[in-house]
Structure 1
Amino acid sequence: MKTKFLLSITLLLLFSCDYNTPKLYQTETLKLQAISEHVWQHTSYLNTQSFGKVECNGILVIDDEEAVLIDTPTDAESTEELYNWLQENDIELKAVVPTHFHVDCTAGLNFLHKKGVESYGSYLTLLNASRHHQPIPQNAFKDSLTIMVDDHEVKFKYFGKGHTTDNITAYIPSDKVLFGGCLVKALGWSKGNLEDADTIAWPESLSELKLAYPDVKKVVPGHGKIGGMDLIDYSIELFTKK
């Protein structure tokens, strides 16, 4: 109870400030920050040949001592660090959902499976993960899935091809927060890794996403800074340009 009280006080302080508020939790390998009443952004790091050291975002939806994780951190060690932070705050991780099959979404799945955490992914993610020898979610869904965190919906949906053929998004209506994942680009970012992309379908998928959630207030991209619906507009323009 004491830990939960301190967590609530920290949240109150965080929400009186803007996105530049110092992180609640930060090490060299993991950052955690509350971005709304029930949603936390996690950021870990991936060393790449083409783009150097890249910040990779995911989110946690937390309420009433339970949580759902969207995308794991980029390796087992930082996933364990996040898991331990939840444990120290008496929060049970009830499920994890990677938004596509790449390592910056799935790297921590095997660790979490050993801890008894259920994982879910679109059937396309399961197929792609298997083909590319990445960790595989335990349970499949077709186009959409809703998971409850206490009485808060986390709505997962597939809008079409883009960064990959399987990229999905997560929307939390109560907080009006959208996790666009790698389907959505942060302002000023390039097209990024296109190895598994469909750049023709990408703008249409984004347009469908924008139509589905007109009330979104905050958008979290897979990489880079949080924003609003302007991130979706920027991403549409980026992939519409010839």
Structure 2
Amino acid sequence: MKNTIKNLFFVFFSFFILSCGSQNKESFKAKKMYESSNLIITQISENSFIHTSFKQTNDFGNVPCNGLIVTDHQEAIVFDTPTDDKSSEELIQWIKGKLHAKIKAVIPTHFHDDSLGGLMAFHKNGIPSYSYVKTIELARENNFVIPENGFNDSVVLKVGDKEVMAKFFGEGHTKDNVVGYFPSENILFGGCLLKELEAGKGYLGDANVSAWSDTVEKVKKEYSHVKIVVPGHGEYGDGKLLDYTITLFKGQ
């Protein structure tokens, strides 16, 4: 009888520990802060928000596109612009009006318009942009708005008292895709390099599919303690998105 009680206690305790370990995403209850026909803003942690805008495509329909806002002490940094200037202006005004925050920088994570399509709106509002040097090169080649400040491999910026970083780990979705990281909350913005669970491979017109898995392996190794992972499209989650993306492109 004692052994049975011990066993039951062990099973219950193990379940409790496993449940607590899987609560990373749920420890903060996400809440929608703003919604219009062009833009949705969702708070996912104490100091981080996903902004979602939309891009009409021939192959995939009206695609929701994610970016990330991180804040500290009434300052903000934005990863990826909404898809156009109108939605970007909407986002800028919301950050200023509702968060009462000064936007210190915008960081496009690659050269496609779901990453820098609204860059002109940020520039018109006096907000500096930073990107990997290859993104500047590709934006220029494609006659897109060009980010103002280039970095080689990585950049670290301050938002309030906290650090925010962007880093290039290798090719995948594009030749220039970087990821963003907010260490104080262990949040990774993967942009279009990372896929939501159960997603397909998406647009591959500028991709290096043979390098994709290896690149994400490097990201996983660098940010082994990540708690929240935000992909360029679809639902955010945890480190499982890294594993899913690695498997999706393995052996391509």
Taking structure 2 as the reference length, the TM-score comes to 0.87
Deviation at 1:42, TM superposition (A): 0.5
Unaligned runs of 5+ in 2: 1-23
Q: 1:171-186 counterparts in 2 under 5 A?
A: 171-186=181-196
1:229 and 2:204 are equivalent in the alignment: no
Corresponding residue for residue 46 of structure 2: 37
Q: Distance in 2 between matches of 1:221 and 1:212?
A: 17
Corresponding residue for residue 106 of structure 2: 96
Q: 1:47-196 counterparts in 2 under 5 A?
A: 47-89=56-98, 90-196=100-206
Q: Distance in 2 between matches of 1:16 and 1:158?
A: 25
Q: Distance in 1 between matches of 2:198 and 2:246?
A: 13
Q: Distance in 1 between matches of 2:170 and 2:207?
A: 11
Q: Distance in 2 between matches of 1:131 and 1:45?
A: 24
Q: Distance in 2 between matches of 1:56 and 1:142?
A: 26
SS for the counterpart of 1:118 is coil
Deviation at 1:64, TM superposition (A): 1.2
- Output the amino acid matched with 1:53: N
- Cα 1:186–1:95 change in 2 (3 A) is same
SS for the counterpart of 2:174 is coil
Taking structure 1 as the reference length, the TM-score comes to 0.91
Which stretch shows the higher mean deviation, 154-163 or 105-114? 105-114
Matched residues, number = 228
- Cα 1:28–1:37 change in 2 (3 A) is same
Deviation at 1:19, TM superposition (A): 7.5
- Output the amino acid matched with 1:81: E
- Cα 1:62–1:238 change in 2 (3 A) is same
Q: CA deviation digits over 1:14-68, x for unaligned, max 9?
A: x996787441111121111111121111101000011000010000011111111
Corresponding residue for residue 13 of structure 2: none
SS for the counterpart of 1:99 is coil
Corresponding residue for residue 211 of structure 2: 201
- Output the amino acid matched with 2:211: A
Identity, in percent, stands at: 44
- Output the amino acid matched with 1:182: C
Unaligned runs of 5+ in 1: 1-14
